[in-house]
Structure 1
């Protein structure tokens, strides 16, 4: 499918409708709607029918929003190769293409060159924290960085 252009369409094969076809079409539409009464259609009288071509135009568009936020995860030695090169990174500097056009998508992507190694805020990079079940006498593995 080619985007941006539409084929030329000609309406020479349109069959003119008479009064009986219009009555049948209106009756079918009234049956679809629960609160419409068919008595109005029975009383309806057409003085003149005029055929007018009508185009149905559909505009499909999309919007895109980008934001940045910090995320923390456990890092094994040798897992992080590139250090942060800049402090401020613009998310619009990176090309991210949709997997399928005109569908709702949420994508989370790490921006290159923005990774940093910080100490664990839960255990202060010790790997353990004081156990509160035993009133602080023992230690337990840190669930955040281990």
Structure 2
């Protein structure tokens, strides 16, 4: 399969033995320090609700302004995130047109092991793909697509050199009317009555330049090193205010702990046991699930996402809405005025 014009420009990888990666034993860190998050007032909660209602043309605004706030219950949802940045490698056979000159073949030495070639990610914790030509693996071969002829049959005319005439539709005749309205049949002026014209793509030759070898007749084949950098993300949300976890994941919180290392030690000293438990589970799971890749870096963070439940009463109707995240987004599934002018908000 040709790789020309189908991906990044291939360069020959430098042969540098990577001795920087050492799978050291994990050492338990010193005591972990955690920060805290803030609360929200009744005035701020009402203001957030009014802004939320204003986003919908069919939401009545009077309820947001007039409802009676019965109770404000502040809390913090905990969002733990573990990112495991890994590198995977595999080889395929690459092919590019051979435009002349010598190639780096086996005569120049033994090809290096794929993992002995040092290649760095452009940015950590970002998915990326790279492709490199492995040194000393190139050889020149006759193009298998054109068999060295440098050309292929034209796909527009199927090698005939002619196309159906667009003017007469292939009939060779055009029907016209004279000044008296009488129908007259004449030879098509475009194709001269033949019903076909010279192919505009191949100029009537019936052939085109081979796309695999670009008309050189030969290709350079080589072992290609394919590198995939993948940032595996796992997380856990601990939330006790009946707010859907997907909403907690969608907003920002206050980062109360963060750690980046080759291999992180699970959180074990947080006051909430569930966080410690799931941190241990996710870190251990990452070691097993990504064992076929080389782990480059790990990053774990714990964010306190402000979540405030506001209980309210409006004209005898009692319910709750939530203000969450540093953006102070609102979740109000039971808002009492969700329609006007006969239309409903789903």
Q: Is the 8 A contact 1:123 1:142 kept in 2?
A: no
Cα pair distance change 1:129/1:111, threshold 3 Å: same
Cα pair distance change 1:35/1:104, threshold 3 Å: farther
Q: Is the 8 A contact 1:129 1:142 kept in 2?
A: yes
Q: How does 1:1-146 map to 2 (within 5 A)?
A: 8-11=33-36, 14=38, 16-60=39-83, 66-73=89-96, 74=98, 76-83=100-107, 94-121=117-144, 122-124=146-148, 133=205, 142-145=215-218
Cα pair distance change 1:79/1:17, threshold 3 Å: closer
**CA shift for structure 1 position 22:** 1.3
**CA shift for structure 1 position 55:** 3.8
Structure 1 range deviating more: 97-106 or 18-27? 97-106
Q: Is the 8 A contact 2:103 2:138 kept in 1?
A: no
**CA shift for structure 1 position 118:** 2.7
**CA shift for structure 1 position 23:** 0.6
**CA shift for structure 1 position 24:** 1.0
Q: Secondary structure at the match of 2:73?
A: coil
RMSD between superposed Cα atoms in Å? 4.4
Match of 2:299 in 1: none
Cα pair distance change 1:109/1:36, threshold 3 Å: farther
Return the structure number with greater relative CO, CA threshold 8 A, min gap 6: 2
- Stretches of structure 1 that go unaligned for 5 or more consecutive residues are 136-140
- Stretches of structure 2 that go unaligned for 5 or more consecutive residues are 1-28, 153-158, 160-204, 208-213, 220-346
Cα pair distance change 1:48/1:78, threshold 3 Å: same
Cα pair distance change 1:92/1:43, threshold 3 Å: farther
* Cα distance in structure 1, aligned partners of 2:105 and 2:83: 42
* TM norm structure 1: 0.54
* Cα distance in structure 2, aligned partners of 1:38 and 1:64: 53
**CA shift for structure 1 position 109:** 0.9
**CA shift for structure 1 position 8:** 3.7
**CA shift for structure 1 position 48:** 2.0
Kindly report structure 1 stretches of 4+ aligned residues shifted beyond 6 Å. Answer: 127-130
**Number of residue pairs matched by the alignment:** 130
* TM norm structure 2: 0.28
* Cα distance in structure 2, aligned partners of 1:97 and 1:49: 51
